[in-house]
Structure 1
Amino acid sequence: MTVKPLFAAILLGAALPIAACQTVAGTQWGAAQDAALTAAVAAPTRSEANRLRDPYRHPAETLRFFGVKPSDTVVEIWPGGGWYTEILAPYLAAGGGRLYAVAPDWGMSGIKKLKDANAPLYGSIETADFPAFDANATRVPDGTADVVLTFRNVHNWRMGYRRDDKQDYSAEAFRQAYAMLKPGGVLGVVDHRLPEDASDERERSSGYIKVSTVRRLAEAAGFKLEAASEINANPKDTADWPNGVWTLPPSYALKDTDRAKYAAIGESDRMTLKFVKPR
């Protein structure tokens, strides 16, 4: 089954379910890719704490939806502690692919720890600056990536996270992601989904972001929305918590206050959007 494109009536807030696909949004997908991805998710080098979050993050389904092949050159933007890196590294290493981890220097501690813990597997990960604002910054060469992935980061760029002036730099982040990709390359975005009728202020403070905002940023950079999925949706999340998205697991910003309530809700409701750089 082919993942259908979005229709006009659902372009802002809703997304299509993925279903079980053999042709994933234009990417031929077969048994070999499925076996390699299953093996990577089951890799013994993954931490047990990360495995426990699989029911919320759906890594195999998500990477399959984005069409990430084991032979691809993949850029993972802001990998944090390396939750997805633990899957992408063995997956790409086994298939002859290439993995870049890109972030400011302060965001590379998780990747450095992985390299120290398992140099044969993680030592080949290449690193670069992102966003690269300095002329002397290390960049992913333009037009070299098959896939660029960013998981729960666009809201940070929109909020001006880690900038002293707190200015929104999301537009520049999308422009740089676009430059990395080959024509026909894929940008995969997962982020906490804010209802479309919410205020702009909530978008700048809650950790949630609107689908329409992500679309606007991506399309302004030149991307085309190819497909969307409800893989990472959570209808229990109303996105109106006292401490924003960090109220929910795994952060539990309120600590023990109503912890059982938030545990029962689970992790956030997330959009999963697949954009393409036109050929």
Structure 2
Amino acid sequence: MIKKCIISFIFLYLVSEPAFAKEMVFLKNQRHPQDIKRDITSKSSAIMSFVNLSKNMVVADVLGGGGFYSELISKKVGPKGKVYLHNNKAWLPFSGKELEARLKDNRLPNVIRYDKEADELSFSDNSLDAIFFVLGFHDLFYVDKGWKIDPKHFLTQLKSALKPGGKLLIVDHSAVAASNKKHAQKLHRIDKNFVIRNLESLGFKLIKQSNMLANKQDTRLTTPFTPQIRRKTDRFVLLFEK
């Protein structure tokens, strides 16, 4: 009986292993060691399988920073697919060097560097199959010199850009429950249910969510940049559909 249970457990583990993980094995020699290291804490293969992209899709990586996910998306959608790696001007000082290194010598020919301000993303209507918005939703409610975004306008632009049935992935640092946007400014965190309510009010439909990046050891009372918790915060993973 015990042996049977063990065999069943192994079988379930194998069949539930993210399909993209197998593809990532073949990409290992093409990727930067730091990206491979980040795969562990970001569970990027599981995230990619969660969204379930296909060949030839057109995808935007919004406020995508140095393009960690853009590179993975580019491999998934293939040479006939397209990836818009978006950043605004205020974000480039933090991610510009990584961005330039990633795109140097046209190493990702299907990735388009897309520098646009948040109030004028300029995506064509119904042009995107999916949007990745990873660790950036809280920044819609962050205010600083050179950084002030109208959340409703920004999210409405994303919805307009998605094709009917298009997917929107949201991953962000969890704030204390029921805190809404209170901790977006100082702690760079946001309440999951606040995010869901905001997007549903604009007509997005939540189709699934995952606790794959949950961390019960995270008090949610420190910034994600605290050394002890960096890349190990409690994060929520949501997938919406237009």
TM-score normalised by length of structure 2:
0.81
Matches within 5 A, 1:104-253: 104-107=88-91, 109=96, 110-116=98-104, 118-119=105-106, 121-134=107-120, 139-160=122-143, 163-164=145-146, 167-198=148-179, 200-241=181-222, 244-247=223-226, 252=227
Distance in 2 separating the partners of 1:275 and 1:132 = 20
Greater RCO (CA < 8 Å, at least 6 residues apart): 1
Cα pair distance change 1:147/1:21, threshold 3 Å: farther
Distance in 2 separating the partners of 1:65 and 1:198 = 27
Q: Which residue of 1 aligns with 2:9?
A: none
SS of match in other structure, 2:225: helix
Paired positions, count:
226
Deviation at 1:106, TM superposition (A): 4.7
SS of match in other structure, 1:52: helix
Percent identity of equivalent pairs: 21
Q: Is 1:86 aligned to 2:71, yes or no?
A: yes
Q: Which residue of 2 aligns with 1:4?
A: none
- What letter corresponds to residue 136 of structure 2 in structure 1? N
1:174 and 1:217 in contact (8 A); partners too: no
Q: Is 1:271 aligned to 2:236, yes or no?
A: yes
Deviation at 1:140, TM superposition (A): 2.0
Distance in 1 separating the partners of 2:129 and 2:42 = 22
Distance in 1 separating the partners of 2:166 and 2:199 = 13
Deviation at 1:211, TM superposition (A): 0.8
1:46 and 1:87 in contact (8 A); partners too: no
Cα pair distance change 1:88/1:177, threshold 3 Å: same
Distance in 1 separating the partners of 2:185 and 2:99 = 28
SS of match in other structure, 1:226: strand
Q: Which residue of 1 aligns with 2:5?
A: none
Normalized per residue, the structure richer in helix is 2
1:77 and 1:150 in contact (8 A); partners too: yes
For the aligned residue pairs, the C-alpha RMSD in angstroms reads: 2.9
1:89 and 1:99 in contact (8 A); partners too: yes
Distance in 1 separating the partners of 2:231 and 2:100 = 29
1:129 and 1:139 in contact (8 A); partners too: no
Distance in 1 separating the partners of 2:192 and 2:71 = 27
Q: Which residue of 2 aligns with 1:98?
A: 82
- What letter corresponds to residue 78 of structure 1 in structure 2? L
Give structure 1 stretches of 5+ with no counterpart.
1-18, 24-30, 253-261
Cα pair distance change 1:154/1:21, threshold 3 Å: farther
Q: Is 1:60 aligned to 2:51, yes or no?
A: no
1:228 and 1:272 in contact (8 A); partners too: yes
SS of match in other structure, 2:49: helix
The list of structure 1 runs, each at least 4 consecutive aligned residues, that deviate by more than 4 angstroms after superposition, is 19-23, 129-132
